[in-house]
Structure 1
């Protein structure tokens, strides 16, 4: 059984969102810490208006996907992406970084043409 899959369409028709093993492990631990069922619940990755460059990433835990979400499963973590956000983040990789200056989730987005100085917002 593969640890990576896409629900809601074939891999050929759905743009891929990848999740590193570290990011999936961190998110699963947080989901479980919230008492959420990891077989149904997941991490919602979305784009919202905001920040000095115009768009910013958002993440939250949801008990279940919305009807029109694309659902990715990587390393036993379910990731939900709504159609409006998909056009901005298709092809992205969700990673977890820990270091001396910062610790947290980071989106590596190939669609970004510019970011603000702090790296919290972007333009495509």
Structure 2
């Protein structure tokens, strides 16, 4: 299943800001991965004091059952079991005085732990 962020009538699993795409693409290229095929995998895993946490890694290619979101030249892969937890989320990149990194804004979250590392839907 594939979705696009640049128009069309299909529903997006996640939206990706331009800043997040630029940062991820730079990292993919530094790993010498082909950005036409490889992408950023966004997933949900068990863990943390609230029950679930986000994970991200680079993959050479999507799995057969992944949803593929394409935005600003970046391909984001989401597996079916993670999709139900992150549908409608926004992936952003924040660069602040104390920290820099990717951030997931998830409208499905009912509660987060105090440190913000885990969540519950």
Common fold by TM > 0.5 = yes
Moved over 2 A (4+): 3-6
Match of 1:94 in 2: 91
Structure 2 runs not aligned, ≥5 long: none
TM-score (norm 1): 0.90
- For residues 92 and 36 of structure 1, the distance between their equivalents in structure 2, rounded to whole angstroms, comes to 25
Stretch deviating more after TM superposition (21-30 or 96-105): 96-105
Match of 2:73 in 1: 76
TM-score (norm 2): 0.92
Match of 1:20 in 2: 17
Computed over aligned residues only, the root mean square deviation of the Cα atoms, in angstroms, reads 1.5
**SS of structure 2 residue aligned to 1:120:** coil
Aligned residues: 117
- For residues 101 and 63 of structure 2, the distance between their equivalents in structure 1, rounded to whole angstroms, comes to 25
- For residues 67 and 15 of structure 2, the distance between their equivalents in structure 1, rounded to whole angstroms, comes to 13
Superposition pairs of residues 42-121 of structure 1, within 5 angstroms: 42-121=39-118
- For residues 50 and 16 of structure 1, the distance between their equivalents in structure 2, rounded to whole angstroms, comes to 22
